[in-house]
Chains A and B, each alone.
Chain A
Amino acid sequence: MKKIALLALALATSFCFGFAFKSITATDNTAKMKRVTGIGGIFFKCKDPKKLREWYQTHLGLNTNQYGTVFEWYQGADSTKKGFSQWSPFKETTKYFEPSTKEFMINYRVANLELLVEELKKEGVTVSDTLQTVDYGKFVHIMDIEGNKIELWEPNDVVYEKLGIQMGLKTTK
């Protein structure tokens, strides 16, 4: 009888320990989880995007196209891999930044978007749409505490570069 009680106690203790360790590990993973790794893009409103793109091309040497330009660089975690940041002026009337009323929107590159979105939801962050998957990565939009809309992007840089080349677009570097 005593043996059984001891066994039960041992089981209960190890269960509690296990649970405790499990939650410590989980917290640890979340804390260590890579969130934003870089700037994926900067978008801003203007009166005349075409004219402004031309201005940046003429005076600052940006290789602009109908979308703006793409800045090309190499990743900090692995310099053999390229990274890209999109730069685009938008029309003042664009709905793309809504519900934000700001004049700009930033796109951040993230390591694991699905995992991050789950975390953000648990943390009470406003996620304003469902995760979209396209050839060149995964996207979702969230809101910060001052009403700035944020675009989160888990890029597929290889496909992204290929698409640009196929379209005959030159990057800025």
Chain B
Amino acid sequence: MEDQKNQADNSTSSVDTKPKVTGIGGIFFKCKDPDKMKEWYKTHLGIDAGQYGASFEWYQDAEGKKKGLTQWNLNSETAKLYDPSTKDFMINYRVKNLEALVEELKKEGVTVLDKVETYDYGKFVHILDAEGNKIQLWEPKD
């Protein structure tokens, strides 16, 4: 019994649950004519973006068991999605343990812009970095 308990403890401690960014979840940028731009990127670079953009697929592990996605999309110059940032781009970062990370960020005085929202494909929240870049944090359900 004691042995079993130790084993359980060990397996738990070997899983790194420290909240952090683990990858790039997406890159979004503004442009004058998203439709025309998507057509150009499809024709010349082979990036086939629909309404929600294109997904680059990769793996999180060498065994190829867990997929990862990096989303690429274009928004019109008038998009409010990047507000209050005035930049012409926004990066989405993949996060491990989003809720715990948000708690830490709040304690650290980081500007958290909204509440954690849960969707089918994961949890999202938005924060600002030290220079006013809006950051989308995403804990994916891959």
Contact = CB atoms under 8 A, between A and B. Distances in A.
B44 A120 contact: yes
Q: How large is the interface on B (under 10, 10 to 19, 20 to 34, 35 or more residues)?
A: 35 or more
Contact of A79 (B21, B23, B56, B61): B61
Given A55-B130, A74-B58, A145 B22 contact: no
Interface in A91-131: 102-104, 106, 108, 120, 123, 125
- For the complex, would chain B's binding face be called helix, strand, loop or mixed by DSSP majority? mixed
A9 B130 CA distance: 75
Given A42-B27, A79-B64, A55 B70 contact: no
Interface stretch (B5-13, B88-96, B117-125): B88-96
- For the complex, would chain A's binding face be called helix, strand, loop or mixed by DSSP majority? mixed
26 contacts: A34-B46, A35-B47, A36-B46, A39-B24, A44-B87, A51-B130, A59-B105, A60-B21, A60-B135, A61-B21, A71-B23, A73-B58, A74-B59, A76-B59, A79-B62, A80-B64, A83-B58, A85-B23, A102-B88, A103-B88, A104-B89, A108-B45, A108-B47, A145-B37, A148-B31, A150-B45
